[in-house]
Amino acid sequence: MLKKIELFKEAGFKDNAINNFLVHDSPYFKVINFNFKAGQELPIHSHDIEGQVSIAVLEGSGAYLGKDDAVLPAETGDVLIADISEPHGIRATSDMRVLVTIAPPI
Amino acid sequence: MLKKIELFKEAGFKDNAINNFLVHDSPYFKVINFNFKAGQELPIHSHDIEGQVSIAVLEGSGAYLGKDDAVLPAETGDVLIADISEPHGIRATSDMRVLVTIAPPI
């Protein structure tokens, strides 16, 4: 089965929290859409396990956050790759949609 | 190390072929950016191996292709999930950027 998800229609924004939409979970990878209102932030975090994460910006802009106060501008079309064990976070400057893929799934 | 790739700056389009840009390859997943000029097509194909693929549209529009002439509209923000063993393809109506993630990597 092909499974199609229309994120721009199916997932919205919340005023008081990041909107978290599970796109797919399987033994191979986990795909999550996070929508941030301008100013919302996913704080820097990490998990002490094997694997990597990709974070693609589908819409809007903000920053990728890393350890030691690292701030990397994040614009539509940018992709960040990190080990899951490596501190990473996201801050939104405008309303912002990102697609996160975790492999293997957490 | 956090690795950031600015796809809209680093990957362009080609008149005579799909532009294929390897974003990342690791034991966990393979991430590839395909840029299609309007009218270009990645024909339906499949690989007889375990795993799944996600195809996210970063810009533009077209269609996801499946077996038995299935055609699913593909717009910016849409994501397709398929088994790697399942026939899938992409056709671009406008200039179109997609991000493909394969886990485990082929």
Domain ranges of chain A: 17-103
- The dihedrals phi and psi of A10, each to the nearest 5 degrees, come to -85, -20
**ipTM > 0.90 (yes/no):** yes
C-alpha to C-alpha distance for A77 and A101, rounded to whole angstroms: 15
Asked if the model's pLDDT at residue B4 lies above 80, the reply is yes
Residues 6+ apart with CB under 8 A from B98: B33, B34, B35, B36, B55, B56, B57, B58, B74, B90
Predicted pLDDT of residue A95 = 98
- The answer to whether the CB atoms of B72 and A6 lie below 8 A apart is no
Predicted pLDDT of residue A1 = 77
Q: What is the mean predicted confidence (pLDDT) over B2-24?
A: 97
- The answer to whether the CB atoms of A6 and B78 lie below 8 A apart is yes
Q: What is the mean predicted confidence (pLDDT) over B67-81?
A: 97
Coarse DSSP helix, strand, coil percentages of chain B, rounded to the nearest 5 percent? 5, 55, 40
Contact (Cβ atoms closer than 8 angstroms) between residue A7 and residue B77: yes
| pLDDT, averaged across chain A | 97
Query: Tell me, which fold does domain B17-103 have in CATH?
Result: Jelly Rolls (2.60.120)
Predicted pLDDT of residue B10 = 97
Predicted pLDDT of residue B67 = 94
- Encoded tokens for A60: 């809007």
Residues of chain A under the 50 pLDDT cut: none
pTM: 0.97
> Is residue B1 very low, low, confident or very high in pLDDT (cuts 50, 70, 90)?
confident
- The dihedrals phi and psi of B28, each to the nearest 5 degrees, come to -95, -45
Q: Which of B71, B50, B6, B23 is nearest to A74 (CA)?
A: B6
Asked if the model's pLDDT at residue B77 lies above 90, the reply is yes
- The answer to whether the CB atoms of A29 and B77 lie below 8 A apart is no
Predicted pLDDT of residue B58 = 98
Residue in chain B nearest A29 by alpha carbon: B103
